[in-house]
Amino acid sequence: MQVLEKAAQNHPCFNEEAHDRVGRIHLPVAPKCNIQCNFCERKICMNLAIHHPGWTAKVVSPTEAAKLVDSIVLEKDTNFVIGVAGPGDPLANESTFETLKLIHNAFPKIMKCISTNGLLLEDRLEQIIEVGITALTVTVNAADVDVGQRVYAWVKYDGRVYRDREAAELLLLKQFAGIKKAVAAGMLVKVNTVLVPGINDKHVMVLASHLKDLGIRLMNIMPLIPSGRMKDVPAPTCDDLKRARQACELFVPQFCKCEHCRADTIHFPI
């Protein structure tokens, strides 16, 4: 519990006060993804001024990532966390575990985290803990299959590709089972939800209620960035986002400082 409380106080994506004093390094070592969200657009993009989840200037190897962390530790006399958030799903890539094992062996006291779609969370939880990860962000966009099948195009699990309703059924089942198991294991778990007007905007309160029952302590509702198959879906307005957060806050506290970080973000507060 002491480790959990420390993570909650010092992780910039779990504590809004820490967001302004703790640095964050995202290592883009996980190129493959095992699901296709209809709004997702992964891209190798050299324009570092654009903030977009799933984008990175390049994919790096575990050795390159470990050397980067080594250099930052030598250069920066400040607190920071290390995360893997893409550009694909961390748990679908062995390079995630190779990278974090190297870093954990060298710097066991540096906080480590991943951001995942949760499909493999239950399956790989032991490995997650072994490489020193204490904080998890799981992106969950629906608690209901009817909503979920409008968000997800396909899911690949255990060598088989699922589509439409079957895909949503499997993903939601695995997400909630994984979250429940991670919370029970004493991990700090936050849920990200992409607010998609006309699809899940009226549903997020139901999702928040379900997350509360699973033991989730923090929820981050992010506005849709129109892209991929949803490039023509309008982004929610500031008022839409405010209403969704207020409704969900009745069940789960809300994080409101998300910056739609890239998979290769390196940020240190000034």
Q: Which domains does the chain have, with CATH numbers?
A: 2-267 (3.20.20.70)
Structural contact between residues 248 and 254, judged by C-beta atoms closer than 8 angstroms: yes
Q: What is the CB neighbour count within 10 angstroms for residue 114? A: 25
From the CA atom positions of the chain, what is the Rg in Å?
A: 17
Mean pLDDT for the stretch of residues 227-237: 92
Query: What are the φ/ψ torsions at residue 268 (nearest 5 degrees)?
Result: -125, 125
pLDDT of residue 240: 96
Confidence of residue 47 (pLDDT cuts 50, 70, 90): low
> Please, which pLDDT band fits residue 207 given cuts at 50, 70 and 90?
very high
Work out the burial of residue 90: count CB atoms within 10 Å of its CB; fewer than 13 is exposed, 13-18 middle, 19 or more buried. Answer: buried
* pLDDT band of 1, cuts 50, 70, 90: very low
Q: How far is CA 172 from the centre of its chain?
A: 15
pLDDT of residue 177: 97
Q: How confident is the model at residue 18 (pLDDT cuts 50, 70, 90)?
A: low
When pLDDT is averaged across residues 13-21 and rounded to a whole number, the result is 68
Q: How confident is the model at residue 52 (pLDDT cuts 50, 70, 90)?
A: low
Task: Specify the range with the lowest mean pLDDT, choosing from 3-12, 87-96, 176-185, 252-261.
Answer: 3-12
Q: What is the mean pLDDT of the chain?
A: 89
Q: Are strands 160-163 and 152-157 parallel, antiparallel or unpaired?
A: antiparallel
**Angstrom distance (rounded) from CA 45 to CA 226:** 17
Q: What is the dihedral of CA 158, 160, 164, 169, to 10 degrees?
A: -30
More confident residue, 117 or 58: 117
Asked if residue 194 has pLDDT above 80, the reply is yes
pLDDT at 219 over 60: yes
91 falls in which pLDDT band (50, 70, 90)? very high
